Amino acid sequence: MTRLSVNINKVALIRNSRGANFPDLVQVAKDCESFGAQGITIHPRPDQRHARYADVPALKKIVKTEFNVEGNPIPTFLELVMKHRPDQCTLVPDSPDALTSDAGWDTIKHKAFLTDVIAQLKEAGIRTSIFIDPVEKMIEGAKLVGTDRIEFYTGPYAHDFRRARKKAVTPFIKCAKLATKLDIGINAGHDLNLDNLPYFLKQVENVKEVSIGHALITDALYYGLKKTVKSYLKACK
C-alpha cells in the first residue's frame, strides 16, 4: 500500500485569513493521524501565507507518524529544517512568490547545489526527497546528487488525465522503472485526487508515498475530514 501524507497547508491558509488559531493546525494534524493518515506534510514559504515557520516545531512535537517538510532550500528554510529535523525534507525549486509548485529540479544544472544540501540533510539524519519531472535524464541526475527519494510532480498528469490518461501517465511509468533500477525511492504529489489517484498508482510501480493537500481539503468540505482521509487511504490501496 502506498502511504498517504496529508498536506495541511490549506488548513493553515484558512487559519491565517482570520488572524487567530482557528482552525488549529496541530489539532487537525492529530485528527488526520487518528483517521489513518500515515504522514503529515507542510510547505512553509517565505511569505508564510499558509504554513508558517513557527508551525514546524509545533508539529514536530505531536506528529506520531511521519513529518515531511517541503520547501525551497534557501538558508532560512535549511536552518529551520536542520534545527527541528523532520523525518523527511522534500526540496522544491519554487520561487518565493510562486503561487504553487509547478516544476521539478534540473538535477544536472543544479547538481553541485543539490549534492551539498542533500549531504547536510542526510548527515543530520533526515531522509531527503527532491521534486522532479518525469524525465529520465533528471532521474539519472537525482541518483548522482545522492537523494534518498524523488517526488514526481504530477501536475501535468492530473491536467491531462480526463483527456488522455494513458499518454499522461506513460512518462511516469518509464521514470519509475528507472528510479527503481537506480534504487531511488518514489513519492508523488500535486493535483492528485480521488478521481486520478487510483489509476496513477495502478500504472506506476513502487510509489511509496503520496502527498495530497488541496484536493483532500476541498473534498473534506463536502464529505468531512474523517470520511475524506479514509477515502484517500482506500484509493492508495
Q: Are 176 and 202 in contact (CB under 8 A)?
A: no
Other C-beta atoms closer than 10 Å to the C-beta of 67 total 23
Instruction: Please pick, among 33, 66, 70, 151, the residue that the annotation labels catalytic.
Output: 70
Instruction: Please pick, among 50, 151, 190, 209, the residue that the annotation labels catalytic.
Output: 190
For cell 488541496, what's the residue? 214
Burial of 129 by CB count in 10 Å (0-12 exposed, 13-18 middle, 19+ buried)? buried
| Preceding peptide of 23 cis, ω within 30° | yes
Among this protein's residues, is 70 annotated catalytic? yes
Instruction: Please pick, among 43, 50, 66, 151, the residue that the annotation labels catalytic.
Output: 43
For cell 528510479, what's the residue? 179
Cα gap 57→109, rounded to integer Å: 33
Catalytic residue numbers read 43, 70, 190
